[in-house]
């Protein structure tokens, strides 16, 4: 959140990620498509927030959490991404905090995603697990 793009040296990486997610999320071809949002590099974020507070950057001055609060920071950025969804009644976005180098974490996240996708497909086909029989 406090770094710029390698190829640009002006554009903030987090703002770039938010703009890209907004573009994809609101693309007319994905209006009714549920999405998975991976907030990756959890380990690096944990280290970064201990040193650099989010609100120390003017572009994130709306952050109201404690200066070095990991959980508050994760929720702030999760909400920034989720707020990009201009069709919340049409689409659900499932978010997961991940560390791609953690096999255990990734296994859990992928299993959760698999179940979410399977449940959605079963519901749309009329065979949802939560239906009364």
Per-residue pLDDT of the chain (133 residues; tens, 9 = 90+): 999 999 999 999 999 999 999 999 999 998 888 888 999 999 999 999 999 999 999 999 999 999 999 999 999 999 999 999 999 988 889 898 988 776 776 777 778 777 777 777 677 677 776 545 4
d(CA 43, CA 66): 19
Q: List the beta bridge partners of residue 38.
A: 96
Q: List the beta bridge partners of residue 36.
A: 94
- Both tokens of 6, joined, read 């390698």
d(CA 40, CA 22): 17
d(CA 88, CA 72): 23
Average pLDDT value over all residues in the chain: 88
Amino acid 43: pLDDT: 93
Amino acid 129: pLDDT: 61
d(CA 2, CA 48): 9
């Amino acid at each position: 959140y406090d770094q710029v793009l390698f190829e640009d040296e002006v554009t903030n990486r987090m703002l770039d990620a938010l703009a890209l997610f907004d573009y994809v999320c609101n693309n007319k071809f994905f209006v009714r498509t549920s999405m998975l949002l991976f907030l990756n590099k959890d380990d690096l974020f944990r280290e970064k927030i201990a040193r650099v507070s989010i609100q120390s950057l003017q572009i994130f001055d709306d952050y109201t959490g404690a200066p070095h609060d990991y959980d508050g920071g994760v929720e702030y950025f999760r909400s920034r991404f989720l707020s990009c969804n201009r069709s919340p009644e049409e689409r659900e976005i499932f978010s997961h905090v991940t560390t791609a180098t953690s096999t255990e974490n990734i296994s859990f996240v992928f299993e959760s995603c698999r179940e979410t996708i399977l449940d959605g497909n079963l519901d749309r086909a009329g065979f949802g697990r939560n239906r009364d029989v």
